[in-house]
Structure 1
Amino acid sequence: MTTPPRPALAIPASLAAGLIVGWLTFVLQGILPDAFNQLANSGAVWCVIGFAAGAVGTIGRELGRRGMLAAALFGAVALFGEVIGYYGSTTLFLGDDVSAAALRGPAVWLVVACVAGPVFGIAGLAYRAGRGRVRHLGMGALGAVFLAEGLYLAIVLGYWAEAAILGTLGLLVPVVLGRSWSERLRGLGALVPLIVVGALAELGVYLLTRAAFR
C-alpha cells in the first residue's frame, strides 16, 4: 500500500498550489480574450485545485473517516491559498486598499472556501479512492460546479458565450476523468442530480455576495 503524504508536506503543497492559482487569476484577467476571460474569474476553476488537493494529498488513504478529514483539510487549504494569492496580488501590484471595507471581499470568499474547499477535497478523494457510484459522484461533483456556474452566467447575467464555455467544460470533466466509456457515461449521468445541488449552492453564494456587497 502506498504511504500517504505527510500532512507536513501535503498542507504546504496545497497552500502553494492555491497561492499560485490565485496569482494566475490576477495575471490572466488581463490576458485571456473575450469570453475566455471568464475562466480567470471562475469559482469552478478554483474548485479544480481543491479537488486535486483532495485527490493527490490523500494518495495511500482509503475513503474512510481519516481520509475524508484529510481531503477536506487539503481542499480548504488550497482554496484559502487561492483567495490569499489573488487578493494579495491585487494589493501588492495594484495598491488596493487594506481598509475594513476592502477586506470584506476576501472575507466573504474565505467563508465560501470553508465550504467549497472541503466539499471538493472530499470529491477528489472519492474520485481517486472510491468505487462505482462513489467514484462517479466524485467526478460528477466537479463537472456540476462548472455547469452550475454556466447556468448562473446565462440566467442571471446573460453571458451566453461564457456560459457555453463553462457548460462545455462541465460536460468534459467526466469524459476526461473516466477510465472507460461505461464510467464516463455514468459520470455524465451523475451530473443530473448534482447540477441541482450545484445550482442551489450557486444561489447561496449569489445571495451571500449580494448581502455582503450591497
Structure 2
Amino acid sequence: MLGYYGYAEFGRDGAGSLFFPLVWLGLALVAGPLFGVAGRWWRRGRDARRRVAGLGAFAGLWGMEGLLYAVDLHHIPEAYTCLALFVLIPLLMARDHKERALAMGAAVAFALIAYAAVVVPLHMVGA
C-alpha cells in the first residue's frame, strides 16, 4: 500500500486525497488480526465450527472481491478470477464433504457481510 500510494504521489503527480490510503490502512489493521485468527482456526482448530468459520472467512474474502469487481467496478475478468477462488478454496482446502458444504455456506455469508460492511459504507460517503 505504501509503495502504491508513494508511486502515485511522487511518480504520477499526486495521489490526491488521503481518504483511500487511510481507509485501506484501517481495514488492514482490522482484517490482519481477524484473518490471522481465521487461519489458525482452520489449520489447528479441533472444533469443526472453527475450522469451517476460518475457511469460510478466507473464501468469503474472495467472494466479496468478486462482487466488488463485478457489481461496482465492472472488471469482469477480475471478478471471474475472484469468484473462482471463492468456490475453489472450500472445495480444495476442506477436510471432507461435510466441511466443504459448510465452508461454502459460511463463505457466502461472510462475502455478503463483508460487502455490506466495506463497500456499502464507501458508497454512502461518495467515494
TM-score, normalised relative to structure 1: 0.49
Write the distance in 2 (CA, Å) between the matches of 1:96 and 1:187. Answer: 42
1:111 aligns with 2:26: yes
Please name the residue that 2:57 is paired with. 141
Q: Larger deviation: 129-138 or 155-164?
A: 155-164
Cα distance, 1:158–1:87 mapped onto 2, change above 3 Å: closer
TM-score, normalised relative to structure 2: 0.77
Percent of residue pairs bearing the same amino acid type? 36
Q: Which runs of 4+ in 1 moved over 6 A?
A: none
Unaligned runs of 5+ in 1: 1-82
Please name the residue that 1:169 is paired with. 85
Please report how far the alpha carbon of residue 182 of structure 1 lies from its aligned counterpart in structure 2 after TM superposition: 3.0
Write the distance in 2 (CA, Å) between the matches of 1:85 and 1:181. Answer: 42
Aligned Cα root-mean-square deviation (Å): 2.8
Cα distance, 1:107–1:192 mapped onto 2, change above 3 Å: closer
Instruction: Report the count of equivalent residues.
Output: 126
Equivalent AA in structure 2 for residue 113 of structure 1: A
The answer on whether the counterparts of 2:63 and 2:108 sit within 8 Å (CA) in structure 1 is no
Superposition map of 1:149-164 within 5 A: 149-164=65-80
Write the distance in 1 (CA, Å) between the matches of 2:25 and 2:100. Answer: 33
Please name the residue that 2:5 is paired with. 87
- Once the two structures are superposed, residues 135-161 of structure 1 have per-residue CA deviations (whole angstroms, 9 ceiling, x without a partner) of 101110111111111112222222333
1:122 aligns with 2:37: yes
Cα distance, 1:98–1:154 mapped onto 2, change above 3 Å: closer
